[in-house]
Amino acid sequence: MNTVTRRWLQRLGGFASTEGERVAGRLDAIRAGYVFCGILCTACVVLDWAILGRVTLTTLPARCVWGGTMVLLGLFSRTPPDEQSWHATIVAVVTAFCFPVLVLQTGGAQSPLFFWNIAIPLCFMAIAHGDLRAVAVSTVLNAVGVMVIVGSGGGGLVKAALWGGLSVIAGVTGMYGTYAHHRVLQAKLRHERERAETLRQLAESERRRGRFERLALLGQLAAGVAHEINNPLAYVSSNLRYLEEMGARGETCAPEELAEIHRESRLGVARINQIVRDLMSFARDDSSDADTRSSTAEVVAEALRLGRPKLQAGVRVIDEVPAQLAPVRLAKGRFVQVVLNLLTNAVDATAATAAPNGPELRLSAREHEETVILHVEDNGPGIPEHVLERLFEPFFTTKPTGLGTGLGLALCREYVERVGGTITAENREGGGARFIVTLPMERPASLGSVSGPGVAA
Ligand code: ADP
């Protein structure tokens, strides 16, 4: 099925994906209805010939005006043929003139077409799509037309009034049907708008939740970050002070010493720069990032740099992630958040470890079929069975109030599953916990074709 056909079917079937598409689909259906009715109206000239018993052009002008108006409105009108438009009313007026002409041309009140006058307001109920004004205009003009036909055929005032009354009854029924249709349509539109608004709010609150957890993680690192920056800052400023004092004493620095001071200071500034850049890129909301792939080794290195303040407390980190792994289908910022969360949890868990070698974290990764599998292991106390069951539940935490939000692992799972990956946890045989993150590879061939199932990852 090609794209155009699918879009048409989506529109007409009412399962278009956006409200705009649904509205456009409804208007397209109304336009198509006009064109169809216009062609049918004109083609019914054959009916006139059957009634008259001969092929004649007499009724063709009225048929062409009637049908042509509908076709032109359906095909060329630039304003949308919705309930606020005059399309249906124009058709009602043209019908009110053309139909009596046709009836009179095919035998007046004796013409089989005459009995159609009852059906006309009802037909409008179907094609006016909730436009009450058009049905009312059609009812009034149609009743007048019927009375003119009956009167001109010598039917008398009473008979004309009787037919006019019947026509009005049919019109009122049509008006009621139109009103009910209008109400249903409005309710449906309201429901769709509310649904779209709810989805928008949901996406927004999800984005905020991710940002909240991100900032909470940053908060945990903040104290250590200050210390991280202080170190290089201290030796950069001590170097500058040394140079200042030398200058004040009128002494000159030996070129080798100056080069060493310069090298040391540059390293310090580069380190501060790196820390600030990492923090800023982590704090940035990258949910709209176009690049949805990342390198596991780079992500782990960045998470380790960011987590350094927390890891420094005597934690041994073994990074065994090979640099040449295939890229994975997860935006870098999100992936760093996942790894950083696993690292901070592991540090918290190993804080009181009784292992002889002290706290230890191990990160390793490998390719398996079309995925990259990352292991984050620690030698902490492991995860109790009752915690393991609820580990990924939002707001589940065993940490004291103010320290844990319980959102970290829930978000990790959300980010990973959105791109078709998985995250699980288990206890290691030798003690400690192991988190396994499996992510689909993003092969260059599939670039641009897959970026997660429609949700900003
Ligand atoms: P938070 O860290 O805010 O508590 P998480 O969703 O990140 O929220 O973690 C939920 C819970 O999972 C933690 O409170 C902890 O009990 C448990 N947990 C996570 N990682 C480990 C680990 N490496 N070892 C033991 N327990 C863990």
Using the structure block, give the residue that is written with the tokens 């990342």: 294
pLDDT of residue 287: 54
Q: Is 372 helix (H, G, I), strand (E, B) or coil?
A: strand
Tell me the pLDDT tens digit for each residue of 145-195.
999 999 988 888 899 999 999 999 988 998 898 888 888 888 988 998 899
Residue range 132-152: mean pLDDT, rounded:
91
Other CB atoms closer than 10 Å to residue 189's CB: what's the count?
14
Q: What percent of the chain has pLDDT over 90?
A: 39
Whole-number Å distance between alpha carbons of 349 and 434: 12
Other CB atoms closer than 10 Å to residue 376's CB: what's the count?
25
**The CATH number of domain 289-445 is 3.40.50.1820:** no
Question: Does residue 338 line the site of ligand 1, with CB under 6 A?
Answer: no
Task: Please answer whether residues 139 and 89 qualify as being in contact, where contact means their C-beta atoms are separated by less than 8 angstroms.
Answer: no
pLDDT of residue 451: 38
pLDDT of residue 38: 93
Protein residue with least CA distance to atom 16, ligand 1:
398
Task: Please answer whether residues 74 and 38 qualify as being in contact, where contact means their C-beta atoms are separated by less than 8 angstroms.
Answer: yes
Question: Does residue 346 line the site of ligand 1, with CB under 6 A?
Answer: yes
Q: Is 316 helix (H, G, I), strand (E, B) or coil?
A: strand
Res 92 pLDDT > 80: yes
The angle that helices 332-350 and 255-283 make with each other, rounded to 10 degrees, is 100
Both tokens of 260, joined, read 């060493």
Whole-number Å distance between alpha carbons of 84 and 175: 16
- Find the 293 Cα to ligand 1 centroid distance in Å: 27
On the 0-12 / 13-18 / 19+ scale of CB atoms within 10 A, 86 is middle
- Residue 310, Ramachandran bin (φ over 0: left; ψ between -120 and 50: alpha; else beta): alpha
Q: Which of 34, 62, 32 is nearest to 47 (CA)?
A: 62
Task: Please answer whether residues 328 and 439 qualify as being in contact, where contact means their C-beta atoms are separated by less than 8 angstroms.
Answer: yes
Q: Which of 402, 403, 297 is nearest to 351 (CA)?
A: 403
Res 455 pLDDT > 50: no
Residue range 46-65: mean pLDDT, rounded:
93
Report which listed range, 94-108, 266-280, 435-449, is most confident: 94-108
Residue range 376-382: mean pLDDT, rounded:
93
Atom of ligand 1 nearest to the CA of 398: 14
- Find the 398 Cα to ligand 1 centroid distance in Å: 7
Whole-number Å distance between alpha carbons of 316 and 138: 86
Between 400 and 368, the higher pLDDT residue: 368
- Find the 11 Cα to ligand 1 centroid distance in Å: 47
Atom of ligand 1 nearest to the CA of 399: 14
Between 82 and 326, the higher pLDDT residue: 326
Atom of ligand 1 nearest to the CA of 378: 23
Atom of ligand 1 nearest to the CA of 376: 23
- Find the 359 Cα to ligand 1 centroid distance in Å: 16
Question: Does residue 303 line the site of ligand 1, with CB under 6 A?
Answer: no
Question: Does residue 398 line the site of ligand 1, with CB under 6 A?
Answer: yes
Res 457 pLDDT > 60: no
Between 360 and 16, the higher pLDDT residue: 360
Protein residue with least CA distance to atom 11, ligand 1:
397
Residue range 312-323: mean pLDDT, rounded:
87
Q: Which of 428, 450, 427, 448 is nearest to 439 (CA)?
A: 450
Protein residue with least CA distance to atom 18, ligand 1:
345
Q: Which of 301, 236, 291 is nearest to 268 (CA)?
A: 236
Residue range 325-339: mean pLDDT, rounded:
91
Atom of ligand 1 nearest to the CA of 216: 3
Task: Please answer whether residues 164 and 146 qualify as being in contact, where contact means their C-beta atoms are separated by less than 8 angstroms.
Answer: yes
pLDDT of residue 39: 95
Atom of ligand 1 nearest to the CA of 404: 3
Other CB atoms closer than 10 Å to residue 161's CB: what's the count?
15
Whole-number Å distance between alpha carbons of 147 and 167: 9
pLDDT of residue 140: 93
**Model confidence, pTM:** 0.53
Question: Does residue 432 line the site of ligand 1, with CB under 6 A?
Answer: no
Res 2 pLDDT > 70: no
Atom of ligand 1 nearest to the CA of 409: 6
Sorting pLDDT into bands at 50, 70 and 90, what band is 264? confident
Between 218 and 205, the higher pLDDT residue: 205
- Find the 47 Cα to ligand 1 centroid distance in Å: 80
Parse the chain into domains and list their residue ranges. Answer: 3-202, 213-282, 289-445
Res 19 pLDDT > 90: no
- Find the 404 Cα to ligand 1 centroid distance in Å: 8
Sorting pLDDT into bands at 50, 70 and 90, what band is 104? very high
